[in-house]
Amino acid sequence: MGRIGPWVIRCRRSRIGRTVLGMVGLSGIWLVDQRFSWQAKPLGIAATLDEAAHLATAAIIAGPWLSRASTSFTMGLVAGAVLVDVDHLPALFGTDLLTRTTARPLTHSLVGSAPVVAGALYHRSFATGALLGLASHFLRDMASSSAGVPLFWPISDRGLRLPDHLYYGVLLVALALGVVMDGRGRRSAPT
């Protein structure tokens, strides 16, 4: 187990290594979705698997820029990909405060993302990463949740869904784009 960290760091330094890491991430997402989605799991295990899949989704989508991105962008990406799920905590304490009108928490909407957009005025790099992380989070939730995501709340409470094959298609396109951009030696990254 102790050798995985250095292996991942070495892989990130090469074009082939980044491609392999992307494919491993995509395979992990698929395994979580296909193998474990039908099984009843304790909440802690389900949440851990889901957040790992959210992180992998964000890393694959940001992959074309991630190896050259600033620390601030990367921190924003991670925060946007997973911290939005803290909105599930009120339900654990027995309140439907955030899910009164929808099956998913209201903060899983464009209005709920407004604080991150406002943050772009203060720290562009972090907010850009956070917006990409949120977008990847919503993309995964639209494909993996039967309730969908109420993106247009308060205009509509309807949860938007995305077929699995489109979600995996977006991830494959992002992986391919990363390979192409690596091959061209592109140096610029989101700021």
Residue-wise pLDDT for 78-97, tens only, equals 999 988 887 666 556 666 65
With 70 as the cut, is the pLDDT of residue 184 above it? no
pLDDT in tens, 105-126: 667 788 888 887 777 778 888 9
The domain ranges of the chain are 4-183
pLDDT in tens, 15-36: 666 777 788 888 888 888 876 6
- Give me the pLDDT at residue 139, please: 95
Cβ–Cβ under 8 Å, residues 14 and 178:
no
Alpha-carbon gap, residue 18 to 12, rounded angstroms: 5
Quote the pTM value: 0.80
